[in-house]
């Protein structure tokens, strides 16, 4: 039998060492897992009666009322009146069929690019379903051009006249669906009983990990998901259908339509309602941002603040000091506010613009191909749809005396999107 040498001095016995400084403390890399999901879930939550659900939305017609000029006509400075052909299909904020409700409208005639005011007139008669009579309200003649716009500025009724024909617009309907999320947790009975360092309970650690996995998967789906059932956000007459793909069993797989995907599919990259903005980093200036925010904040809430969920590259863009890029192009450094902590539990910085305040929220879900993207949302037009209450199913695998524990995080949720123009997508290239 070998005798252990006890005479050694100054030697640290390996089997008696404590390698771990804090053996029950584990540092996690990410703490703010899903700020977009957190925002939506704490803002508006609804419980639809069906996984395929509808929503009402409305656009105020008085926001912009224009009539499209379809002819070149000289409008003389007299009381005779001149007939002008118009096309209601290209007009905005007025009845789809020209009728007597047009009579009495006062209008300004602007060039198609809205740079030249040609004159002002009043509509005195409806000649046909495609023409109206205009009388010049000025003392100088002006001539319309095909593509000009008649901007409605008011009404001017005749003395002793009667009420004009009334008209009303209708509410519009859009839709989306929920999807089933499922994240399992499983360990063996041996591991469950083990005394561990780091996290003393491996089951508790895995439950926390899978809970966060569920959150990030929900967030990514509500941001980037796509659905065969479509949304009708462009009011193009899509059919409301409970469609999707089928699993190997033949059962339906239903998915929710994410807000980023919806903006890409239904948004506008130009015009008054532009909500998709592409920034070329090498040439973009602060002046360009100011012009773009004029459209971004036109539907901002009353407090003038809009939450922008931003990828790490987008956060870098705003403070990057370089000979090229935003700071170099603008000739001065753009200073964001100090990092703050929102009451909902995520970090943010403030970027002030002349048209509103952008709350920039670092968002992990945008890492990767969307690293330099930002999503600005109008929270009044976004809600969390929960068809069935999320649940945690514990110990769901018990047949044949299974030696272990299997749990499951489960949810049937989605997102509701209305008035797509109020949401903004910014891509920095």
Task: Tell me the DSSP string of 24-90.
Answer: T----S-S---HHHHHHHHH-EE--SSSEEEEEE---GGG--EEEE-S--EE-SSSS-EEEEEEEEE
348 forms beta bridges with 340
In SS3 terms, 73-128 reads as CEECCCCCCEEEEEEEEEEECCCCCCCHHHCCEEEEEECCCCCCEEEEEEEEEEEE
Percent with pLDDT over 70 in the chain: 88
C-alpha–C-alpha distance, residues 266 and 258, integer Å: 12
Q: In what order do the strands lie in the sheet with 382-393?
A: 45-46, 382-393, 404-417, 172-188, 52-57
Q: Considering the domain boundaries, does residue 74 fall inside one? A: yes
Q: Are both 254 and 360 inside the same structural domain? A: yes
Q: Are both 335 and 231 inside the same structural domain? A: yes
Q: Are both 310 and 374 inside the same structural domain? A: yes
pLDDT digits 0-9 by tens, 49-81: 999 999 999 888 888 899 999 999 999 999 999
Q: Are both 106 and 52 inside the same structural domain? A: no
Residue predicted with more confidence, 10 or 95: 95
Q: Are both 141 and 195 inside the same structural domain? A: no
Q: Considering the domain boundaries, does residue 10 fall inside one? A: no
Q: Are both 114 and 220 inside the same structural domain? A: no
CA of 105: how far to CAs of 90, 100, 116, 134, 367, in Å?
Answer: 18, 10, 20, 10, 52
Q: Considering the domain boundaries, does residue 8 fall inside one? A: no
pLDDT digits 0-9 by tens, 75-113: 999 999 999 999 877 888 888 788 888 999 999 999 999
Percent with pLDDT over 90 in the chain: 59
Q: Please return the burial class of 125, using the count of CB atoms within 10 Å of its CB with bins 0-12, 13-18 and 19+.
A: middle
Q: Considering the domain boundaries, does residue 138 fall inside one? A: yes
Sign of CA dihedral 328, 333, 337, 340: positive
Q: Are both 261 and 323 inside the same structural domain? A: yes
Q: Considering the domain boundaries, does residue 51 fall inside one? A: yes
Average pLDDT value for residue range 1-26:
55
pLDDT at position 112: 92
C-alpha–C-alpha distance, residues 198 and 184, integer Å: 22
Domain around 204 = 35-57+172-428
Q: Report whether pLDDT(314) > 70.
A: yes
CATH number at residue 261: 3.90.1690
415 forms beta bridges with 384
Are the CB atoms for 100 and 164 separated by under 8 Å? yes
Q: Are both 177 and 141 inside the same structural domain? A: no
Q: Are both 122 and 176 inside the same structural domain? A: no
Q: Are both 234 and 337 inside the same structural domain? A: yes
Torsion of CA 59, 62, 63, 69, to 10 degrees: 110
Are the CB atoms for 209 and 28 separated by under 8 Å? no
- Count of the separate structural domains present in the chain: 2
Q: Report whether pLDDT(363) > 70.
A: yes
Dig out the tokens for 392 from the structure.
């945690």
Q: Are both 260 and 136 inside the same structural domain? A: no
Q: Are both 202 and 226 inside the same structural domain? A: yes
């Amino acid at each position: 039998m070998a005798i252990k040498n006890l005479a050694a001095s100054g030697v640290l016995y390996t089997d008696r060492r404590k390698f771990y400084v804090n053996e029950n403390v584990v540092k996690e890399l990410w703490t703010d897992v899903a700020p977009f999901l957190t925002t939506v879930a704490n803002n508006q939550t609804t419980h639809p009666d069906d996984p395929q659900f509808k929503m009402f939305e409305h656009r105020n017609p008085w926001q912009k009322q224009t009539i499209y000029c379809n002819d070149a006509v000289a409008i003389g400075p007299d009381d005779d009146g001149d007939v002008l052909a118009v096309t209601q299909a290209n007009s905005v904020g007025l009845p789809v069929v020209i009728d007597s409700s047009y009579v009495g409208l006062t209008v300004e005639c602007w060039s198609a690019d809205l740079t030249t005011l040609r004159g002002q007139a009043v509509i005195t008669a409806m000649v046909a379903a495609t023409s109206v009579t205009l009388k010049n309200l000025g003392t100088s003649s002006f001539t319309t051009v095909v593509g000009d716009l008649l901007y409605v500025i008011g009404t001017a009724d005749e003395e002793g006249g009667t009420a004009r024909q009334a008209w009303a617009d209708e509410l519009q309907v859009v839709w989306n669906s929920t999807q089933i999320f499922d994240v399992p947790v499983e360990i063996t009975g041996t591991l469950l009983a083990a005394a561990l360092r780091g996290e003393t309970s491996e089951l508790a650690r895995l439950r926390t990990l899978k809970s966060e996995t569920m959150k990030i998967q929900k967030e990514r789906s509500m941001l980037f998901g796509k659905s065969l059932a479509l949304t009708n956000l462009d009011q193009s007459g899509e059919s409301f259908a409970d469609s999707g793909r089928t699993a190997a069993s033949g059962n339906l797989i239903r998915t929710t339509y994410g807000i980023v995907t919806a903006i890409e599919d239904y948004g506008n990259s130009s015009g008054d309602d532009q909500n998709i903005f592409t920034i070329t980093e090498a040439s973009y200036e602060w002046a360009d941002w100011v012009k773009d925010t004029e459209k971004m904040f036109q539907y901002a809430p009353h407090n003038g603040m809009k939450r922008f969920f931003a990828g790490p590259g987008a956060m870098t863009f705003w403070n990057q000091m370089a000979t090229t890029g935003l700071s170099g192009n603008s000739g001065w450094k753009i200073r964001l506010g100090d990092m703050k902590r929102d009451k909902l539990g995520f970090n943010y910085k403030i970027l002030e613009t002349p048209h509103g305040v952008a709350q920039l929220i670092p968002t992990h879900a945008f890492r990767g191909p969307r690293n330099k993207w930002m999503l600005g949302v109008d929270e009044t037009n976004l809600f969390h749809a929960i068809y069935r209450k999320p649940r945690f199913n514990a110990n769901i695998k018990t047949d044949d005396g299974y030696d272990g524990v299997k749990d499951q995080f489960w949810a049937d949720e989605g997102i509701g999107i209305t008035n797509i123009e109020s949401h903004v997508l910014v891509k920095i290239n």
